[in-house]
Every structure is written in structure tokens, then in C-alpha cells.
Amino acid sequence: MPNNQENLQFLICANCNGQGYVGQKKCRVCHGQGIIAYLDGHILYWGRKINRYYLKQYKIERLIHNLIYVTLLILAVLGVLSLVYALYLIDFRIKIADLKNWFLGGNKSLLFFWLTILTDLYLIYFSSLDKDKKQKVLVKKYKSEEDERTPPPLLDWQQVKKISHKNKIDISPAFNEDALKLIEKAFEIADRYNALEVGPVHYLIAGILISQKVNNVFNRLGIDLNNFAQKIGTVAGQTPRSENVTIFSAQAIQILMKAYRLAYFNGLEEVEATEIIQEAIGADKLIQEVLIDLNISLEKVENVIIWFRIRKLLYQKWQRYRASSTLKSKTGIDRAMTAIQTAYLNQFSEDLTLLAKMGYLDLCIDRDKEFIEIFRILEGSSVKAVVLVGEPGTGKTAIIEGLAQKMIADDVPDFLKDKRLVSLSISRLISGASATDAQERLLICLNEAINAGNVVFYIDNIHDLIGIAAGGQEGVGLAEVLNEALGKNLFILIASTTPLNYSRYIENVSLGHIIQKIDIVEPELNLAIQILEGKVGFIENKNNIYFSYDALDKAVKLTDRYIHNYFLPHKAITLLEEVAVWAKKTKGAQAVVMGNDVANLLSEKIKMPVSEITEKESDKLLRLEEIIHQRIVDQEEAVSAVANSLRRARAELRDIKRPIANLLFLGPTGVGKTELAKAIAEVYFGSEDNMIRLDMSEYQERDSINRLIGAPPGYAGTGEGGQLTEAVRKNPFSLVLLDELEKAHPDLLNLFLQVMEDGRLTDSTGRTVDFTNVILIATSNAQTNFIQEKVKQGVSVEEIKKELLETELKQFFKPEFINRFDNIIVFKPLGMNEVLQIARLLLAKVAQSLEAKGINFQATDEAVEELAQIGFDQQYGARPLRRAIQERVDNALAEYLLKGKISRRDLAILEKGGVIRVEKAQKF
Amino acid sequence: MNNTSSFEVLGLILMDEIRTVLYFPLWWYSKGLLKVINGCWEFIKDFEQTLGFWIWVKNLFVPMFGERDIAGRLISFGLRLFQIITKGFALLIIIGLNLIFIIIWLVLPIFVIYQIIIHF
């Protein structure tokens, strides 16, 4: 879709203020034109007068026209009836000769018949005149880049007079009926409310009131029309008032001229109401503000209007293809019958042009650039072979299917006209055959195609051909066979492959030297949305649901951001297909899919919140500290730092090119570093399981880098993938916990530099693994003694951290490495008080596991205190406590359970001295 | 200007309609005729496309179905000649029908008026 930003150059008459009239008289300077615009060598003017008088005239005119039409049609019917009556009157028994009356005259019913024939002729004339009143929008001519750069001439009214009449264009006949009615309605509205002049807001109101198409646009945007109309009404109320009459001002005409320009650049035949609305919204900041309040940008409005345009265009294209496809043969023979049947080839291939003729292929949108490149290369180079190189899902197949349809419509250069596009299937070629057989098959196929002379080959995933050689590696491969035939320039080949396979298998073999590469890049977001706009019609029909524009927008933007191993537009299309099925099942037929539906489904798929923050969730986010504290005791600074970075991430205030957060937890063992990481995984990714935990003490050797990112070719473990890269690739939405980071080999830390800075890491096979959706947490026990010392001295955590960063940590990590962390969090050693609380938490967990067995469990305060005292250790934090609980509580309980001393509904009470007292429940 | 009554507007429009009626005969033999001729020409071109007449003429000496030996070439030539003659004949009929249509267009108004006069 061409989207030329070139602005129109306007000339507004200063004498009459763009009105065309001074008082009652035509302006002498502009000759009544008021305002004109310059567009590609043409002078545009608005020739249809709009004021109360003319509006009245147009209305009466329309009425009279309709009356004339109805009368003429009635006369035509009556004429036929009178002829029937005349025939009925003939008395065939007397004399056929009586028929001569018919030509001699005097027959009244015949007189009436012939009169109606005359009115029929008039009807032909009348409707033809009506059709002539309409004019198509100018067709944009091809302009060289130099022409594009030449600035338009500066205009004045003297010059305008000299420009030939042919180049002055009245744009009003190019507006369709709907658009003209909208313009008139806009004037009526402005007039009724005594506005000084017709403004953009009046167009908008008129559009909402009378144009179904404009209503459809707002419906697709998911706007509540009542609410919107009310707000727009307020805007209209703020326009300047007039005591006198409302004028159809230069501003109003400017909008129409811009609408015409829009139609011109988009190759439309007529200007529709939607073009006026698009320009009206673009011209009024206040309306844009209202829309932004409803979460709708100008870009969104434009994209929805483009959506309607694309649908119309697709329909026209489809009609054209259908019509031209009747001319093509079903048997694969060209129209001149010079070709030969290719019975053998047909076994190993699929005729895409035939499928296109049958209407089985999807229409292709916005690939003109690629088509031009394909045609240019095939036409120009001596060897007619190209390979489309693009990631899966970027549209290679769509381009090929589009090409087949173009060939059916003869919308291709001469050398492709009346040819068949045949997709050669490599899997069929090599299935059940040895390399020698496959080679023979390929040779026969090629021979047939060359003899037939009308075959254009398409080979999908051409890299599969490489390496299949008769007689082992030294023999001649399938690729060489193809290569030789191509070298003789005997047929045309179009192939496809992915960038990785191209560089790995094709670039450096002889086939790669003669076959020309065309890069198919992933479309940018806006283009992807437009491609989707062309596609969703089929999905909507299939599932009987409707997509709002927001759904498309979200599908493209969210998949672009969160799904990195697939490509646009395919990944967005697949997501929409899933959403459509989901919507049909849950919301029922005719349901409208909104943006948040798409986001919700994606959230479910990737197990990470991406949808809009609901009230419930925002409440949860605001209480994050509280939630985390249900698992973590104290460590206020750490918890609040973590909670803050999660909130930033969820409110989209983070750098999306880096991991969600890079955190370094410092502190002695057993103070809750790992526990906090688990809590984060649960809160943010929904489950503790979404955590990739690497014990860095296992990576102390330099070689262990191979285990992390996969071994390079030739080493043990090649092809297995790295422990880190594989885990993140399979589960890109997770928490990566690097335990005891200081123990890793320093070279490994350099790897993480890149991860933290760019959010990606390349594994040994050359695959880039995306780290932008992980939370990276490293823990370290480095300088534990230092921290413990300082805490004992009563130094604040803030100061300990400062000192650590300035001096102590530098022994372990380079400054640039430390710098990459968003936050370095120092965990305090635990005091008696905290251990007491932890003891309670741990005992609560014991109670929880007993509850599953129907047994109640309690602990007296003295018992908890005793446990805490046993379990407290300055050096090891809360770890000994866990052991103590295990020994004193879990073991005893297990024994009771096994001996049957405790059963359902009993109450077990932990008392001082490690005694567990059982209160038996009443037996039934 | 703005206070003109509906009757005045109506008068102006009726004048306009009368002008339209008067233009009718002139249109029939000028702009209308050109339109009809153009339409017929497009129809004939479309029909030629469907038949593929020129494709067959251009390929008169090209062997059919890749039969490049002498016998094949001869048979091809004969067959193509036959096809061209049949297709040409069909094309001629269509051209003829279109010519008849144009003639009817030219004659019809005069004939209708003549009929009206005699039956009057």
C-alpha cells in the first residue's frame, strides 16, 4: 500500500478568503475558485457549490431524477404489455395478411409500444449521462526518483490562469454518492448549530450519522458509538459561532482535497466517505485527543481504513483472477498447444498454476517489491534462477502462490506468460529411492520439463537437495544435476530456503554461484498488520467471529515482542487462528475478538502476564512486598528492590532489549536468597517451576563454557545444545538463577555480560537465543565474613553495599560486570528474631503437609522458641533450623504415622523439649 | 441568493431537464455512438482473447505438442490451419453481429419515429 507523505500545495485566494465570492459577486482574482491545490502537475479545485441554496437544489434534483427513472421504468413495462396486447388482438384465423396493419399504421396499442421504445432509448441516454457525471480519480503515473524530488512550482493566480484547462481538475465528480451525501450532511449540521464554518468535526458527525462504512470503521476500532458521539458533540460545541450563515470554508475544501490525494496515491477509483473521515480526524487535534482518550491513535484509524481498502482490493483482484482463469487449460498445455504433457513430472510435483486456476490458493498482499525483484532478475540474468531466502513464516510461500495467481491473470512479464508454475517435491523425489534412483528421477523430470518448454520450477527448501549424491560423497549430487541444466539456460527455477541453510549449504557450492539470492525480510509491524488485515477475512468466515482492529494490532505487536523463534506475519496469523477458535467456543458465534482476548491467550501460552493490567492484578502488584513476605522473613531492602523492578517490568517501563531484570543477591548462606528467587518465579511466571537454576560452582573450568552454550563441532557433546541456551530457548519466559556466581570461571562471566546488556546469547550452532523475557538473578556468598562483621558493628546495609562495590567485590568481578546489574542487593545475616519467624513459617509448612492427611498440627510458643534456638547459627543462617525441624518434628511425626499412633482428625501438638502430644479425636 | 424559494429552484431544474431532453438526439449520434462502437470493439477483443486466435496465427509454423519431426510438423501445420480457419470464422460472425448491432443503433430512432408517425 503506497503511503506517500508528499503534502498538497494549496493556494487560497486572499481577496475572497477562499470563498470564491465577494458578497454576491464572483471573486475577480480567483474567478470563483477560492482555493486550489497542486498535485503532480494537476490543479485541483472543488467545483460543487455547497450552501443552503445549492443543497436545496441538489435535493430537488435528486428527487426529480428518481422520479424520471421510475417513470421511464414503468413505461418500459407498460410498453411490453401493450405489445402483448397487440399480439393478442391479431385474429390468425382470418388472414395473416392482416398483419400488414402492423406496418401500415393505425394500431393504437402499437403506437403506445413504439412510444415506450422511444422512452427506453431515452432511459439508456439518461443513465449514461448520469454515469458520465461521475469521474474516476486520476491514475498516478510512474515517476522517476528525480521527478519525485523536484519541488512543485510556486503558484499564484496569474499562473493558474495560464495553465491549460485540461490540467485543471474538478475533484467533486470523483466523490461517490455516500461521500457527497456526507459532505452535504456536514454542512447541514454546521448550519443547524450556527457554526461559523464547516469543520472536521462536522464531517465526523455526518459520517457517524449517515455512512454505514464510517460506522463500520468505528465498530472495528471497538468504539462505543454513543459515548464517542457525545464527546464529539462537545467538541462541535466549541467551534466558533456565526450570527449569519454558515460557510463552506477553505478548510473544509482542503480536507476534501487531501481525501482526493489519498485516493490518488492509493490507486482508488473514487473517493469514499472513509477518506474524508481519515483526513478530517488528521486535521483536528481536538478530535485526536478525544480518540486518544478512547485509546485510539490516528495510526489505528488509518490502519482500519486501509483494512477496508485491502478487502475491496482483494475482492477486485479475486474477480479478475477468476475471470482470467477460465482461459487457462486444465491439462497443463499452453494456449498455443506447443507444450507436451509431463506425466512423469506430475508424479513428483504439484501444478501451482492449476491450483490457482481452481481457486485453491490464498491471495497475496503487498509483495509488489518482491515480485518486481524476481521479474527483474529472471528477465535480466543469463541463468534464470532465483532463490528466496527468508526465515520460515516471512511469506515465501505466499509470494510463490501470489506469483501463480499473477501467471493465471497474465499479470507477468512476457517470458512467464502462458507458463506453468510447478512445485517440485524433493521428498517425493527421494522417497523410497536410492541416491542413484533419485538422480534418475530428477533427470527425467528435468528432461520432460525442458521438452514441454512451458514449465517454471519451484523448489521449496532447496537445501534438502544438497548432499544427496549417487555413489557416496564423491559422486555427482542432485544439486549438480540441477546446476548443469540451469547452466544451459533451459528452464526457469525459483527456489526457497532459510538464511541459515543458505549460508550453510548453498552459498559455497556451485549451485549457489549461479542462483541469485533475493532476501525476503520479515515485514515491519505496520506492514504485518496490513497483511493480517487481508488474511483475517478467511479466519473470520471460517469461525463466524469478528476481529476488532485492536486484536490484529495486539497479535502483531505482542508476538513480535514475545515470540522470537518464529516470524511475522505467520506467528501473528497462527495466534489469531487460535484466538478465533477460542472465541467461537467461549463467546459464541458472531463474537467480537478484542485486543485483550489476544493478550490473554498469549499470556496463557507463554505463562507470563502480557495482557492489560486488571484492577485485581494492579492491586496484587501494589501489594507485592506483602505477598513476597509470606515466604521471606525480613530482608526489607531486598524485597522492596525486587518488587520495584517487577512493577517496572509489568508497567512496561523497562528496556525491552534487555532481560526483565538483572539482579545480584549478596549475602551469607541460608538467609533467603534462593527462596526470594523462587518467590519471584512464582509471582511473575506463575510457578516456581519456571526457574532455570544453574549451580555455577559446576562451571569452574574454562571448558565448561561448552556445557553452558553447547559444544562446537568436533567436540564431545556436539549437537546437544548448551544447558543454559537450550533451557532458555525452550522456555524463554522464566527466571534464570545463577547460584554462587563467584565460583564460575571468569571467562564465563564475559558471556553473561552480553546476556545482561543485549538480552541474547548465541549458542554453538549459531542460533541466537533470546533472553529479553527472563529475569536474571545471580547469587553470591563472596565476602560473607565482611558483611557479617559489618552488620555486627551496626553498619547500615546501604553502607555495607557501598563498601562492597567499591573495594571488596572487585576481587571477584570486573567493574563492567558489576555495572550491568540493575540492582545489587545485600542480604543481612539473620538475627534470633528472624529465625523465630522462619521457624513459624517452616512449621506452618509441616502443618500444611499434615493437613492433606487430615491431621491437625500445632506448636506451642515455647516449642517454637526452643527450635529457633537450636536452629540458629550466625554462620549458616536458617539452614540448621530446617535440619532441626526435620530431626525433631518430621522424624517423630513419621514414626507416629507408621506406628498408627496418630490418625485422621487427631491433633498433634509440639511442645517444649521436642515432645509431640497427640489429642485423639472423637471416634464415630 | 440564499433566500430563493423552492419554486425558483424547481424552475431552474426543470429548465435544465428540458435542455437534457433536447440534447438527446444529438447525443445518440455522437457521444452515444462512440460509446457503442467502443463497447463493441472491447467485446470483439475479449472474444479474440477467449478464442486465442492470434496465438494460433503466431504459432502457425510451430509444431504442436513438441512433435518436431517432419510428419509432426506437417500434421501440426494442417491442424493449426484448420483451427485458424474455424476460429477466424467464429470471429467473423462475432464481428458481423457487432456491426449489425451498430447499424441497429443508427437506424432504431428513425425507425421508431417512423412507426410512431404511421400509427398515429
pLDDT tens digits for B42-86?
A: 999 999 988 888 888 888 888 887 777 888 888 888 988 999 999
Q: Judge whether B105 lies within some domain.
A: yes
Nearest to A732 by CA among A684, A699, A674, A690: A690
Q: Find out whether A790 and A625 touch, Cβ atoms under 8 Å.
A: no
pLDDT bracket for residue A2 (50, 70, 90): very low
pTM score of the predicted model: 0.73
Q: Which residues of A touch B2 (CB under 8 A)?
A: 51-53, 245
Please give the residue of chain B at the shortest CA–CA distance from A116: B112
**What kind of architecture, by CATH, is found in domain A331-519?**
3-Layer(aba) Sandwich (3.40)
Q: Which residues of A touch B120 (CB under 8 A)?
A: 105, 111
Residues of A numbered 127-156 whose beta carbons fall under 8 angstroms of chain B's beta carbons: which are they? 128-129
Q: What is the pLDDT of residue A631?
A: 81
pLDDT in tens, A451-500: 888 889 999 998 888 876 655 555 567 888 888 888 888 889 999 999 88
- Average pLDDT (A159-178) is 86
pLDDT in tens, A103-118: 666 777 788 889 999 9
Option in B2, B35, B117 nearest A128 (CB): B35
- Average pLDDT (A857-871) is 82
Q: What is the pLDDT of residue B26?
A: 94
Q: Is B103 on the interface with A (CB under 8 A)?
A: no
**What kind of architecture, by CATH, is found in domain A171-326?**
Orthogonal Bundle (1.10)
Cα separation, A353 vs A329, in Å, equals: 10
Q: Judge whether B17 lies within some domain.
A: no
Q: What is the pLDDT of residue A470?
A: 57
Q: What is the pLDDT of residue A449?
A: 87
Mutation pick from B83, B106, B115, B120 vs chain A, by most beta carbons of A within 10 Å, is B115
Option in A115, A338, A452 nearest B64 (CB): A338
Q: Does domain A525-612 have CATH number 3.20.20.110?
A: no
Per the structure block, which three cell numbers stand in for A413?
512479464
Phi/psi of residue A900, nearest 5 degrees: 75, 20
Q: Please give, one letter per residue, the 3-state secondary structure of A150-161.
A: CCCCCCCHHHHH
Q: Is A415 on the interface with B (CB under 8 A)?
A: no
User: Between A and B, how many CB-CB pairs are < 8 A?
Assistant: 98
- Average pLDDT (A20-38) is 82
pLDDT in tens, A215-274: 999 988 888 888 888 888 888 888 888 877 888 888 899 999 999 999 988 888 899 999
pLDDT, mean over chain A: 84
Q: Does domain A832-919 have CATH number 3.90.550.10?
A: no
Flag whether pLDDT at B35 surpasses 90. yes
Q: Which residues of A touch B109 (CB under 8 A)?
A: 118, 121
Q: Judge whether B37 lies within some domain.
A: yes
Q: Do domains A331-519 and A638-826 have the same CATH topology?
A: yes
Q: Which residues of B touch A114 (CB under 8 A)?
A: 112, 115-116, 119
Q: What is the pLDDT of residue A183?
A: 95
Q: Judge whether B103 lies within some domain.
A: yes
Q: What is the pLDDT of residue A4?
A: 43
Note if the bond before A569 is cis, omega within 30 degrees: yes
Q: Find out whether A388 and A371 touch, Cβ atoms under 8 Å.
A: no
Domain definitions of chain A by residue range: 52-133, 171-326, 331-519, 525-612, 638-826, 832-919
Q: Which residues of A touch B63 (CB under 8 A)?
A: 338
- Average pLDDT (A747-757) is 86
Q: Is A55 on the interface with B (CB under 8 A)?
A: no
Phi/psi of residue B55, nearest 5 degrees: -60, -40
Q: What is the pLDDT of residue A650?
A: 78
> How many structural domains are present in chain B?
1
Burial category of B23 from C-beta neighbours within 10 Å (exposed 0-12, middle 13-18, buried 19 and up): middle
Q: What percentage of chain A exceeds 90 in pLDDT?
A: 18
For residues A224, A226, A227, A232, the Cα torsion angle rounded to the nearest 10 degrees is 110
| CATH T-level topology, domain A638-826 | Rossmann fold (3.40.50)
Q: Judge whether B47 lies within some domain.
A: yes
Range with top average pLDDT, A793-797, A816-820, A916-920, B22-26: B22-26
Flag whether pLDDT at A613 surpasses 70. no
Flag whether pLDDT at B4 surpasses 70. no
Flag whether pLDDT at A579 surpasses 70. yes
pLDDT in tens, A125-148: 999 998 888 888 888 776 555 666
- Average pLDDT (A87-103) is 67
Residues of B numbered 35-94 whose beta carbons fall under 8 angstroms of chain A's beta carbons: which are they? 35, 49-50, 52, 55-56, 58-59, 62-66
**ipTM (interface predicted TM):** 0.90
pLDDT in tens, A621-671: 888 888 888 887 778 888 888 888 888 877 777 788 888 888 888 888 778
